[in-house]
Amino acid sequence: MNIIVDGRYQIIKRLGKGGFAHTYLAKNLTAPGAPPCVVKQLRPKVEHPRMLQLFNLEAATLNRFKHSQIPQMVECFEHQGDQFMVQDFVAGDDLSKEFTIGHQWSEAKVVRFLREMLQVLGYVHQQQAIHRDIKPANIIRRWDNGQLCLIDFGAVQDLDSDSLAPTIVVGTPGYHAPEQAEGNATFSSDIYALGMTAIQFLTGHYPLHLPKDEAQEVIWRDLTSISDRLAAILERMTRVDEICRYESTLAVLADLETLPLEAPDDRQMWSDRFLAAESSHQQLTSKIMAIAVLLGMGLFSTAGIVNRVQSVPVNVGGEIMR
């Protein structure tokens, strides 16, 4: 692919194709060394009067965010009648790559995951924003330091703005909370989605495939072996009735503080982590060299680098579009 947008951004590879936008890996030809970046193009499958508003809202929200674990928005511009957004590129793999059906994360790993993501999500909420699409594919683990980054704010809701009507439903089935499916997302809706993501990693099953009881609560406890304390925290994070759910990320973090940093019987995890650290260092060196070579050639074919927009369902006329 050898397309140059607006004479400044050379498109290298398409990273994702969502319900209303395409995302590409590109080179910024105007910056020293032509560093990689992410270019997002508004291309809705079905025209909807709110699509451009969602696109502009994402740009405005990212523009005011200043957090090391959230990609920064570089600029927005129009080219040949199309709308584009440029964001920082995060070199890493999204967590959907770490998930395999039947494979279960340890309790200690999930606790560390929750503690880190709750801090990032807490920052988003402090900015009076609701992400509305928390899921493994929208969380990237950096190659260089293993840090988790939250991406894809295409479904974001800005509580300081009245630009979005409640009739627009966004999110991903299995992760979004019941009230969000009705167009009434709150901070606790993000907490619900993060809890369902943790349950997915603990059980080795996609949330959408888990059974439910008469009250529509997800049944998952018998699929994993974790402490009753962590189970109680996750159950409260994912209550169907938002009144029974945690209201803030700080409240969840406070309860997580009562859990040990490492599970006492998790020695194998420490061994695995040590081996993984050595392997990761070697892989990182190889990947960085490969990126430098490929970008210099104007090519890119490595499937492991992901910073893409996922499909965002949009309810239009009673039908959910992806």
pLDDT at position 44: 72
The stretch 100-129 carries a mean pLDDT of 97
Check if the beta carbon of residue 226 is closer than 8 Å to that of residue 235: no
The stretch 83-101 carries a mean pLDDT of 95
Q: What is the spatial distance between Cα 124 and Cα 146, in angstroms, rounded to a whole number?
A: 20
In this prediction, residue 213 has a pLDDT band, given cuts at 50, 70 and 90, of very high
- Any bridge partners for residue 158, and if so which? 129
pLDDT at position 319: 40
Check if the beta carbon of residue 137 is closer than 8 Å to that of residue 112: no
Average pLDDT in the chain? 84
Q: Does the structure show a pLDDT above 70 at 251?
A: yes
In this prediction, residue 54 has a pLDDT band, given cuts at 50, 70 and 90, of confident
Which domains can be identified in the chain, with CATH numbers?
A: 3-90+286-316 (3.30.200.20), 100-256 (1.10.510.10)
Q: Please indicate whether residue 133 is annotated as part of the active site.
A: yes
In this prediction, residue 273 has a pLDDT band, given cuts at 50, 70 and 90, of very low
Give the percent of the chain with pLDDT over 70.
76
The stretch 289-308 carries a mean pLDDT of 50
pLDDT at position 295: 58
The stretch 67-80 carries a mean pLDDT of 94
pLDDT at position 131: 96
Q: What is the spatial distance between Cα 239 and Cα 193, in angstroms, rounded to a whole number?
A: 11
Question: What pTM was estimated for this model as a whole?
Answer: 0.79
Q: What per-residue string of b and e applies to 50-71 under the rule 16 or more CB within 10 Å gives b?
A: bbeebbebbbebbeebeeebbb
Q: Does the structure show a pLDDT above 90 at 299?
A: no
Q: Cα-flanking dihedrals φ and ψ of residue 310, to 5°?
A: -85, 165
In this prediction, residue 46 has a pLDDT band, given cuts at 50, 70 and 90, of low
The stretch 182-205 carries a mean pLDDT of 97
In this prediction, residue 266 has a pLDDT band, given cuts at 50, 70 and 90, of very low
Q: Does the structure show a pLDDT above 50 at 277?
A: no
pLDDT higher at 170 or 2: 170
The catalytic residue among 93, 94, 133, 241 is: 133
The stretch 207-224 carries a mean pLDDT of 96
Alpha helices (runs of H) in 41-186, residue ranges in sequence order? 51-64, 107-126, 178-181
Give the percent of the chain with pLDDT over 90.
66
Q: Does the structure show a pLDDT above 70 at 45?
A: no
The stretch 268-285 carries a mean pLDDT of 48
